[in-house]
Amino acid sequence: MMPRWNWETVNFWPQMLFAFAGLELVSAMSDEIRDAQRTLARAIWGSGILIAAMYIAGTFAVLSIMQAAPVDPKSGVYQALAIGSETLKMD
């Protein structure tokens, strides 16, 4: 179960940690939040829905540009951007 150091996946870790950025600021702004129980619950649900929608839209965009089989999990967005820019003659 221990993670293994692998140079092929080293760019994944900062991206995963970046997804959690901002949660530590809740305690810093706790004096400014009115009705924290209601407000934070709404914020968590709202951000969760928006994040899921953005991931679904991004996946749909990548898969609308290229087939699913050649998509590299680490750089699929960049592959789709390269194909899209070639198609639009934006090299």
> What pLDDT digit, counting tens, does each position of 43-73 carry?
889 988 998 898 899 888 888 888 888 888 7
Distance CA 54, CA 5 (A): 30
pLDDT at 58: 85
Written as six digits, the tokens of 86 are 């070639």
3-state helix, strand, coil in the chain (%, to 5): 60, 0, 40
Cβ count within 10 A of residue 62: 19
The pLDDT, as a whole number, for residue 84 is 85
Least confident of 24-28, 41-45, 82-86: 24-28
In the predicted structure, residue 81 carries a pLDDT above the cut 70: yes
Selected residue with higher pLDDT from 9 and 37? 37
- Planar angle of CA 52, 53, 57, nearest 5 degrees: 120
